Structure 1
Amino acid sequence: MSTRLPRFVVAAPATGQGKTTVATGLMAALSRAGHEVSGHKVGPDYIDPGYHALASGRPGRNLDPHLVGEERVAPLLLHGAAGADVAVVEGVMGLFDGRMGGEGFSSTAHVAHLTRTPVVLVVDISRSSRSIGAVVHGMSTFDPRITVAGVILNKAGSPRQVAEVRSSIRVPVLGTIGRDDAFSAPSRHLGLVPAAERDEAAHALDRLAEHVAESVDLQALMELAASAPDLDETPWDPAAEVCAPVSDARPVVAMAGGRAFTFRYTETEELLRAAGCDVVAFDPLTDAFLPAGTSGLYLGGGFPEVHAETLTANASLREDLRAAVARGVPTVAECAGLLYLCDTVDDSPMVGALSATAAMTPRLTLRYPRATATTDSLLTRAGEEVTGHEFHRTRTDPPAGSEGPWVAGWAIDGEATGFASDSVHASYLHTHWAGHPHLAQRFADAAHAALRDGRGATSSGTRDTSSVEPVATPVPPPNPDLLPDPLRHHGDVEAEPGLLDLAVNVYAGPRPPWLDAALHESLELVDRYPSPTAAEAAVAARHGRAPEEVLATAGAAEAFTLVARLRPWRRPVVVHPQFTEPHAALEQAGHAVTTVTCTRESGFALDPAAVPEDADLVVVGNPTNPTGVLHPAAVVEQLLRPHRLVVVDEAFMDTVPGEGESLTARTRAGLVVLRSLTKHWAIPGVRAGYLLGAPDVVAELRRAQTPWSVSSTAAAATTACASPAAAEESERRAHTVAGWRTALEKGLAERGIAHVPSATSFVLAEVGEGVHAALRAAGVAVRRADTFPGLGPAWVRIAVRPEAHTTQLLAALDALPHGAS
């Protein structure tokens, strides 16, 4: 049975023509035009697919005949593009450049031939005119099996030059893109910087999509894609490649992620899940311990040498990993993972699970080899061959295991490399497990065995420390101020009578007369059961939505509880740091929560790629409490996936002038937006809020809601705060808050106190350990931040107040003993 898949390959005559920028821009432009786009990359590269994922909202995937075999290339394309309107395949190097000595094997042309896909050629015309015609003609006729169906002229100059180039080309010209350095991706010692490390990537992507949409005929491009012939191959299916044990037990495979470990193939995770494992991402930069129940470790590629200082500072996770490897938890480490397991990288302490050190070298190792297993090990059997690739500037000493439990993992070109044992396989070689599914099967089987034998974390989710040796680090004294459950800590307990309250984010001003009148009038209705109908109609009108897309709630607290109990979530994710109530509600409902942490290094920006692909619920705040960071709406929308619910808590969006990044006006499948009226309108005693979503989701939540949970007073407040008068007053208050915040941030900056630039009614500041208590002693209450996951005792959240209150805070900070802050 044949499969219809519109598709095209983006190629170039050589590296450096702008192929990645144009391909990513096309994916983004087509996606924003309403098409479901599937992004693919020829070759082993991990970085470009990260940009593809940002552009398309789907996992980026690789197509590499060397890594997976010629017979799997088209099936993998069909698998990755399932449900897409169009597949865009970005090529590698020049169109016909492949493995050295392989006569074009694994080249872009090779993949285009295997998948019978038309080619769109991107040509840099900045230094030529009519000669471009000869280049395009040669590319079009060099191999009759390849169809160059269109050309995009890149880095164009004057209209006269473009006209001269166009007149020389006999292939349809689909667009002309002018020179703009703003759309190039920065480089690093191994190539492009990963999308996960470009904080401005999402903003740049919006500009790029707009630029490409204006410069390229997208309609003609889609017609070209539709001309691709049907594919007769059967889509690749991970469940057909591996077998899961006949058991309900699913071992947790902890997979390194975050900014330091961005390199892994999507199919690896899919194979492990098909083999009966649960893949849980963790961030070695920020997570203190391994995920609960870890029975397998997968440490992929990335740039640990760039993040060595932060990896070293996370001593608790390094010790947890070292102990897990020592216990025999099955561990696979490729390239960056190998470095992380070493004793040191450039003298920075790492995990210390391997008796080796690593250091940067001037020489780049880049090869595309066949490797032979030297011994039986966790993954291999002696004499087996696999294909892979290496791409690194570091070297380990020794280069291969030869002492104690370690033996060499591979022999490549007669050279022993890597470290292997019955439970560990660590080397520089990257392998694509779709091409070698027996590797995934062996690793999954070992993880199942580790779960049965009790070598992983304990079933309660706490660390098994029975085999952990003491670590020579000082243990801080107990903190009597630390609550037993930090997820339930709230700022109102900080604001005791007699203290200047900078802990609670309630607007510092009187309520509007029309709101007080509505609250008083609601008391006349307390002799009857409440109805939220009028409130929901008012909210619908306020946001331009249909009434069936609105559900009034008893504040955000009830909304979080409804979401937590809505479905048997398999993989709920909460993005931290943020308000902890959704996390607590999910745990109370019996769900194991996966935490994704926005890091200080990124400015606490949201990275959609850090959210596990199998997450079926994602909760994120915007602006985020307590960081005050406002995430672009386009970035938040990148979290959307089929069969996933994304819940955006906009409790503080009304403090942002213009509310430009709000998603309240957008009806999107799988998107729910929560609003709370508590803080901006100074009514914390009235639990009033609402949520907005697609009618089917709202109806589902409404059925789960306790009847009459929204009181008459809350309904009246909601109706009043959705009026045109309220919209005008809300904007005035937002501008007032912005002025107060400017004064606070200026005062902090003048004192050299690090803080996160905020968009809302509070500021997160790094004042130093002990300052929270010192301020209380001085009569000032600020919100402790160590109860927010991802932050520590040096941070406090400061509510924005009129300048007189800010002056009092700054004076208290100035009066602290030298060095306290």
Structure 2
Amino acid sequence: MRLPRVLVAAPASGHGKTTLATGLMAALARRGLEVSGHKVGPDYIDPGYHALATGRPGRNLDPHLTGESLVPPLLLHGARGADVAVLEGVMGLFDGQIGGAGFASTAHVARLTRTPVVLVVDVSHASRSIGAVVHGMADFQPDLTLAGVVLNKAGSPRHAAEAAKAVESTGVPVLGVLHRDDGVSAPSRHLGLVPAAERGTGVAALEPLAERVSEHVDLDAVLELAATAPDLADKPWDPAAHVRLAGGCAPGVDAPTGTDTPVVAVAAGRAFTFRYAETTELLEAAGCAVVPFDPAHDPELPPGTRGLYLGGGFPEVHAAALAANARLRAELRQAVLDGLPTVAECAGLLYLCRGVDGHPMVGALDAEARMTPRLSLAYRRPVLASDQLLGAAGTPATAHEFHRTTVTPVHGDRAAWRVDGTPAGFAGPTLSASYLHVHWAGHPGHAQRFADAVRAGDVRATDGLPGAVRAGTSHPGTASAGAPDVPSPEPVPDVPPVPDVPLADPLRHHGDVEAAEGLLDLAVNVSRLPRPDWLEDALHAGVAASTSYPDARAAHAAVARRHARDRSEVLVTAGAAEAFFLVARARPWRRPVVVHPQFTEPDVALRAAGHQVEHVLCRPGDGFALDPERVPEDADLVVLGNPTNPTGRLHSAAVLRSLVRPGRVVVVDEAFMDFVPDEPQTLTSQRVPGLIVLRSLTKLWSIPGIRVGYVVGDAAVLAELADQQAPWSVSAPALAAVVATTGTTAVTEQEHRARRAVRERRVLVDGLAELGVAVAESAAPFVLAGLGHGTHAWLRAHGVAVRRADTFPGLDDGWARIAVREPAASRHLLTKLRTKS
């Protein structure tokens, strides 16, 4: 069969495969071509972006999951009627199963499908060396056709020209150059990219991406390369050839008629976005009607439901919405216990448990699920552990596992699978629930057994639940007979309101006064993780050393090493608050400016020193971005945060450097920069005249009572601050904390904590989005949310403290700042908000 096609690959993950592949699909579709998108490997998320770009289902090509022989037929099946197919690779070009000599790699699929490869290479950290990378990639596997290269993240035309010249010297043509553009990147989730179904701006983002690729990549050259792909001798995969309309394994089941089409309810919506298109096609070929439903919002199962398929997704992210839909959870629990044929993979497994991180779920399985920091990611070769819904004990399969949760216990009385000899999952005659994802095109017997059970369930039906069939009694191993009833959404407690905190001076208002005893504290931005042992030891040593006056020399030296500064460019302070007061008293400022919304302490310090303060307001409609042109040219002091409290806005280092002027001091408060992985926009190591950077150690390291931070920057400005500092203002325990938290062990731990904060923030942000709450994009351990007027006080009356935002210049009572906490705390808040709405 004739199929023009190209495969987008890269030397490693992170080079821009998804950006280029999706951009190519969208750009070619804009030309009026019918484009088919395919993803190498088991990934569900990238195909969602492909579907947005092409208007066709995204497809997966995975030799492990389906076997080598099915890869070309599945490609041809997915590309029926297409003018061109674009395949996106996985990881690095030659990276496959560990120990498998490249099995299931991008190169393996390119060879199986005889598809020319277009390599996308991130050139942001190299130029001429890119030629060596391409040369090695082209020569490493002789039976692979490396047909072209696209350079990504070029810094300038000169940089791009140098890299392109080096690549073309290898004989591989450069098809295009993409320059740095953060506007087309997809946001990350704890398992990878955010699914396209969860991005409200997903479709809108495709237009500038298609425009960018059309402008900077030679699409005609790409189509010419695609046309060189040889014809494939295989026939397209046909689901009807792999299943029967009626199953012989279920006695009494007759062939379906036009009016006898059992419904299989398939979980969909934002919480359940992972399933292979071929799963639906196999079930339909077996005579079932596949009907999606949204477990977060639909009040009941689709009418006539006789089978249930719960695929993958992120129920842990959307737990509050799933928990609030108690009516559907109750129906599902009873249906599953009554024998409704049910397949649950990964997210579906979690949803069937009693709860996820304390939020009630369906309760059909006597198990609890919770988030963990550990990622389980692997190909598996399991066997069915017992006779169950999907087959007989000992039946082998190929699968993959991809999650950051754990379920306790790991298996029921009757396990679903044995993975490397270890039982896992929950099973019964009408149930299979586990973490394993199986591509049913590679194992069509699963679809057949499930379809047969669905039809047999119709025969066994004894009464009609609306939307579900009771199919006999519950079976051993399906669930615990004593599983608790599913509770209704938590009612708003009928308790006297907790009085709001009076505002004596809005600029002096602080979140700690809102965190009254008995309230869930989402008002204070201090990490609740336990302090590391090495920090505890340092604090104790500092207390022991308090018999002498504090000696700050070691702390200054430690900070200087941490940020590659000279000792004269460092000043240790009793937190950022002291630093602001030192700045306020350092000079007779003529026109001090504070960029707001922002931490109000600079205003307080400047006002106490007798200065009149001018504000520059960043607007919500601009995402609280700073326009440097709005800062008065004659301002001699400019103060702003990065990331900013309370918006969480992370300004670019280039924008902040542009504020520097002769005779002006720019103060950047980086009190929360240590919560930003890799700190890409920090200015702590940049020597710029007139620029100083404030850092705080109290939030990340859970030591607000110690009061410690430091300032780095222009040595002349720091000398002026030091002249205002009281002797021994920083205590011995605080100085010991500085030394401990700036060492190499601390830097590693900081990165770990920062990445954990990103994951936990995503749970909160996605949950708020599920409720329709506007949230400012944040890089901090808090988010600014548009909860609506009066909600801050309502939450306080119902047991939750958030930071009121009307004390920040530029904001009103409709906004509140919410601290990022562990997922259970965020979901408690989300459940409360749902009861209010």
The two structures have a TM-score, normalised by structure 2, of 0.55
User: Which string of whole-angstrom CA distances, capped at 9 and with x for unpartnered residues, describes residues 393-449 of structure 1?
Assistant: 1111100112xxxx1111112221100100100000000000000000000000011
Q: CA deviation at 1:465?
A: 12
Contact 1:295 1:455 in 2 (8 A): no
d(CA) in 1 for partners of 2:448 and 2:408? Answer: 31
Q: CA deviation at 1:754?
A: 9.3
Q: Secondary structure of the equivalent of 1:207?
A: helix
The letter of the residue matching 1:6 is P
Q: Would you say 1:144 and 2:142 are equivalent positions?
A: yes
Q: Which residue of 2 aligns with 1:387?
A: 398
Q: Which residue of 1 aligns with 2:85?
A: 87
Contact 1:325 1:353 in 2 (8 A): yes
Q: CA deviation at 1:158?
A: 1.5
Residues 457 and 75 of structure 1: is their aligned pair in 2 closer, same or farther, counting only changes over 3 Å? Answer: farther
Q: Would you say 1:358 and 2:369 are equivalent positions?
A: yes
d(CA) in 2 for partners of 1:182 and 1:456? Answer: 55
Q: Secondary structure of the equivalent of 1:386?
A: coil
Q: Which residue of 2 aligns with 1:228?
A: 229
| Structure 1 ranges of 4+ moved more than 2 A | 455-458, 460-476, 753-757, 765-768
d(CA) in 2 for partners of 1:271 and 1:45? Answer: 20
d(CA) in 2 for partners of 1:105 and 1:254? Answer: 35
- Identify the match of residue 424 of structure 2 among 417, 424, 435: 417
Q: Secondary structure of the equivalent of 2:373?
A: strand
Q: Which residue of 1 aligns with 2:124?
A: 126
Q: CA deviation at 1:55?
A: 0.5
Q: CA deviation at 1:756?
A: 10
d(CA) in 2 for partners of 1:409 and 1:339? Answer: 15
- Identify the match of residue 261 of structure 2 among 216, 236, 250: 250
User: Which string of whole-angstrom CA distances, capped at 9 and with x for unpartnered residues, describes residues 190-215 of structure 1?
Assistant: 11110011111111111101111001
Q: Which residue of 1 aligns with 2:49?
A: 51
Contact 1:324 1:456 in 2 (8 A): no
Q: Would you say 1:452 and 2:450 are equivalent positions?
A: no
d(CA) in 2 for partners of 1:314 and 1:120? Answer: 46
- 1:218-297 to 2 correspondences below 5 Å: 218-245=219-246, 246-248=255-257, 249-297=260-308
User: Which string of whole-angstrom CA distances, capped at 9 and with x for unpartnered residues, describes residues 664-714 of structure 1?
Assistant: xxxxxxxxxxxxxxxxxxxxxxxxxxxxxxxxxxxxxxxxxxxxxxxxxxx
Q: Which residue of 2 aligns with 1:214?
A: 215
Q: CA deviation at 1:456?
A: 8.1
- 1:647-666 to 2 correspondences below 5 Å: none
d(CA) in 2 for partners of 1:281 and 1:371? Answer: 28
Residues 331 and 151 of structure 1: is their aligned pair in 2 closer, same or farther, counting only changes over 3 Å? Answer: same
Q: Which residue of 2 aligns with 1:781?
A: none
d(CA) in 2 for partners of 1:131 and 1:255? Answer: 49
Contact 2:335 2:470 in 1 (8 A): no
d(CA) in 1 for partners of 2:472 and 2:379? Answer: 43
Q: Secondary structure of the equivalent of 2:92?
A: coil
Q: Secondary structure of the equivalent of 1:368?
A: strand
d(CA) in 2 for partners of 1:462 and 1:164? Answer: 64
Contact 2:339 2:472 in 1 (8 A): no
Q: Which residue of 1 aligns with 2:8?
A: 10
Q: Secondary structure of the equivalent of 2:397?
A: strand
The letter of the residue matching 2:223 is M
Q: CA deviation at 1:820?
A: 11
Residues 125 and 313 of structure 1: is their aligned pair in 2 closer, same or farther, counting only changes over 3 Å? Answer: same
d(CA) in 2 for partners of 1:456 and 1:392? Answer: 38
The letter of the residue matching 1:213 is S
Q: CA deviation at 1:101?
A: 0.4
Q: CA deviation at 1:103?
A: 0.2
Q: CA deviation at 1:766?
A: 10
Residues 471 and 238 of structure 1: is their aligned pair in 2 closer, same or farther, counting only changes over 3 Å? Answer: closer
Q: CA deviation at 1:155?
A: 0.6
Residues 441 and 755 of structure 1: is their aligned pair in 2 closer, same or farther, counting only changes over 3 Å? Answer: closer
d(CA) in 2 for partners of 1:24 and 1:448? Answer: 40
- Superposition RMSD on alpha carbons, in Å? 2.7
Q: Which residue of 1 aligns with 2:643?
A: none
Q: Which residue of 2 aligns with 1:727?
A: none
Q: CA deviation at 1:78?
A: 0.1
- Identify the match of residue 164 of structure 1 among 162, 168, 175: 162
d(CA) in 1 for partners of 2:86 and 2:51? Answer: 12
d(CA) in 1 for partners of 2:27 and 2:293? Answer: 32
User: Which string of whole-angstrom CA distances, capped at 9 and with x for unpartnered residues, describes residues 341-386 of structure 1?
Assistant: 0001111110000011111112111110100111110002111110
- Identify the match of residue 446 of structure 2 among 422, 427, 439: 439
Q: CA deviation at 1:160?
A: 1.3
d(CA) in 1 for partners of 2:314 and 2:82? Answer: 32
Contact 2:197 2:270 in 1 (8 A): yes
Q: Which residue of 1 aligns with 2:356?
A: 345
d(CA) in 1 for partners of 2:256 and 2:164? Answer: 63
Residues 79 and 154 of structure 1: is their aligned pair in 2 closer, same or farther, counting only changes over 3 Å? Answer: same
Q: Which residue of 2 aligns with 1:594?
A: none
Q: Which residue of 1 aligns with 2:97?
A: 99
| Percent identity of equivalent pairs | 65
Residues 145 and 456 of structure 1: is their aligned pair in 2 closer, same or farther, counting only changes over 3 Å? Answer: farther
Contact 2:354 2:362 in 1 (8 A): yes
- 1:59-70 to 2 correspondences below 5 Å: 59-70=57-68
Q: Number of aligned residue pairs: give it.
A: 481
Contact 1:343 1:357 in 2 (8 A): yes
- Identify the match of residue 369 of structure 1 among 380, 384, 387: 380
User: Which string of whole-angstrom CA distances, capped at 9 and with x for unpartnered residues, describes residues 82-108 of structure 1?
Assistant: 000000000000000000000000000
Contact 2:457 2:471 in 1 (8 A): no
Contact 2:36 2:56 in 1 (8 A): yes
d(CA) in 2 for partners of 1:462 and 1:381? Answer: 26
- 1:774-785 to 2 correspondences below 5 Å: none
Q: Which residue of 2 aligns with 1:545?
A: none
Q: Secondary structure of the equivalent of 2:382?
A: strand
- 1:596-615 to 2 correspondences below 5 Å: none
Which of the pair has more CA radius of gyration?
2
- Identify the match of residue 35 of structure 1 among 11, 26, 33: 33
User: Which string of whole-angstrom CA distances, capped at 9 and with x for unpartnered residues, describes residues 87-137 of structure 1?
Assistant: 000000000000000000000000000000000000111111111111111
Q: Which moved more, 1:44-53 or 1:241-250?
A: 241-250
Contact 1:328 1:455 in 2 (8 A): no
In structure 2, list runs of 5 or more residues that go unmatched.
247-254, 475-483, 492-770, 776-786, 791-834
The two structures have a TM-score, normalised by structure 1, of 0.56
Q: Which residue of 2 aligns with 1:426?
A: 433
Residues 475 and 183 of structure 1: is their aligned pair in 2 closer, same or farther, counting only changes over 3 Å? Answer: closer
d(CA) in 1 for partners of 2:27 and 2:462? Answer: 48
d(CA) in 1 for partners of 2:490 and 2:313? Answer: 32
User: Which string of whole-angstrom CA distances, capped at 9 and with x for unpartnered residues, describes residues 579-608 of structure 1?
Assistant: xxxxxxxxxxxxxxxxxxxxxxxxxxxxxx
Q: CA deviation at 1:471?
A: 7.0
Residues 104 and 465 of structure 1: is their aligned pair in 2 closer, same or farther, counting only changes over 3 Å? Answer: closer
d(CA) in 2 for partners of 1:418 and 1:389? Answer: 14
d(CA) in 1 for partners of 2:94 and 2:322? Answer: 40
